Structure 1
Amino acid sequence: MPDALALLKTRRSVKPDQLQGPPPSAADLDTMLTIAARVPDHGKLVPWRFIVFEGDHREEAGAAIASAYAAKYPDASGDQIYFETNRLARAPLVVGVVSSPVESAKIPAVEQQLSAAAAAQNLLLAAHALGYAACWLTEWYAYDAQVARAFGLDDHEKFIGFVHIGRFDGTPEDRPRPKLADIVTRFEA
């Protein structure tokens, strides 16, 4: 296993259509999800959950996405509907990360949503640590009410995003990163 700093410095996103199989084993997926759940969670509310899309169920989920797309865009072409049907089939495995806030007088919903986002980030890091490549996407369907219902979300739940996981042969290109001088200030009273 790579050391922690090397792991953090080398994590990159890989586009879903560049991810190959085989998908993570059941044991690797359990490890990833266990690590994803080890996030700051003020009040121990567990305000997130995961939906795993694997095998042929990716295409079944894609049919729900395509149905929502067709409802939004009745003039959509066959090619567009085909593309939407395959949204979750681009990668060998996809995990939907769901923000599921819990009613709390002490912990605001936004803090709980940030905990869910941390779970998505931990999932990316766990996949990388196990030798997989991944990409966190929030495309239009992450915000669509019809898709949310089709995937079993309750009214108070929202997708944080979809983490696409597979294998990548090569080294992903890095993108430009901000200079610390541009993003760091020091408070002085």
Structure 2
Amino acid sequence: MVFDIIKKRRSVFPAQYNDKPIAKADIEKILQAANWAPNHKKTEPWRFKVMMGESKEKLGLFLSLKYMENVASPKQMKAKKLIENPKMAGAIIAICMQRDPNESLPEWEEVAATAMAVQNMWLCCAEMGIGSYWSSPPLIKFMDEFFEMEDGEKCLGFFYMGHYDGELEDATRRPIEDKVVWAD
């Protein structure tokens, strides 16, 4: 049931991943789920760049270098983490958004549609037993130096994925009644 999958979805971080590879067919299925996200005016703004193998290591090195170049007082631990996290992932998908060239709708609607595509991916991963996590470091503003991107395309973050061992903790939420106002 969809409600059970929604409740089961968790952020699973690279340090939790094991070495089991993710099959390309599974990644394709996850991307197909993304493609069915709702979007206004049928702009389908989501774009994805899948990194596996050596491209993950290249991403880590790039992010670490950009961090060291652009932060006033860089920390060695942070630079090391930027290098190591991509290596631990089974795959990383750069989450990008292609702005409608006619600007026929507000940009926030295309960002929201892309986020809904990522939610579809996340739910699909939860159902398939693949851990995932959306990272959106400030360094994404430099991704046009790493990837070839179209005019109007921007990176919104990285979707880290990996198999993991064990069970995930149950999440908690405050009651919905605390967040809803009913009007008659």
TM-score for the superposition, normalised by structure 2: 0.88
User: Given that residues 64 and 147 in structure 1 are in contact (C-alpha distance below 8 angstroms), is that contact kept between their aligned partners in structure 2?
Assistant: no
Judged with a 3 Å threshold, the aligned counterparts in structure 2 of structure 1 residues 24 and 60 are, in CA distance, closer, same or farther, namely same
Alignment-mate amino acid for residue 107 of structure 2: A
1:161-187 deviation per Cα after TM superposition (whole angstroms, max 9, x unaligned): 211111121221134312112111112
Q: Is the 8 A contact 2:19 2:88 kept in 1?
A: no
Aligned with 2:146 (options 131, 140, 150): 150
2:158 maps to which of 155, 158, 162: 162
Aligned match of 1:51: 49
Counterpart Cα distance in 1 of 2:179 and 2:45: 30
Deviations 1:12-70 (A, max 9, x none): 11122101232321111111000111111222212110011111110111111112112
Matching residue of 2:87? 89
- The 8 Å contact of residues 13 and 131 in structure 2, kept in 1 or not, is answered as no
Q: In angstroms, what is the RMSD of aligned CA positions?
A: 2.0
Which one of 166, 175, 180 corresponds to residue 184 of structure 1?
180
Residue 17 in 1 paired to residue 15 in 2? yes
TM-score (normalised: structure 1):
0.86
In structure 1, the partner of 2:67 is: 69
Q: Distance in 2 between matches of 1:77 and 1:44?
A: 43
CA–CA distance in 2 between the matches of 1:149 and 1:93?
Answer: 20
In structure 1, which of residues 32, 35, 55 is the aligned counterpart of residue 30 of structure 2? 32
Residue in 1 that maps onto 2:113: 115
Q: Which moved more, 1:170-179 or 1:114-123?
A: 170-179
Give me the whole-angstrom Cα distance separating, in 1, the residues matched to 2:171 and 2:70. 33
| Residue type of the alignment partner of 1:25 | A
Q: Residue 15 of structure 2 contacts residue 85 of structure 2 at CA under 8 Å; is this kept in 1?
A: no
Q: Which blocks of at least 5 consecutive residues in structure 2 are unaligned?
A: none
Aligned to 2:136: 138
SS at match of 2:48: strand
SS, match of residue 120 in structure 2:
helix
The structure-2 alpha-carbon separation of the partners of 1:79 and 1:113, relative to structure 1 and needing over 3 Å to count, comes to: closer
Equivalent pairs counted in the alignment come to: 184
Matched letter for residue 185 of structure 1 = V
Q: Which amino acid aligns with 1:89?
A: K
Percent of pairs with identical residues: 26
Contact kept, 8 Å, 1:136 with 1:164, in 2: the verdict is: yes
Unaligned runs of 5+ in 1: none
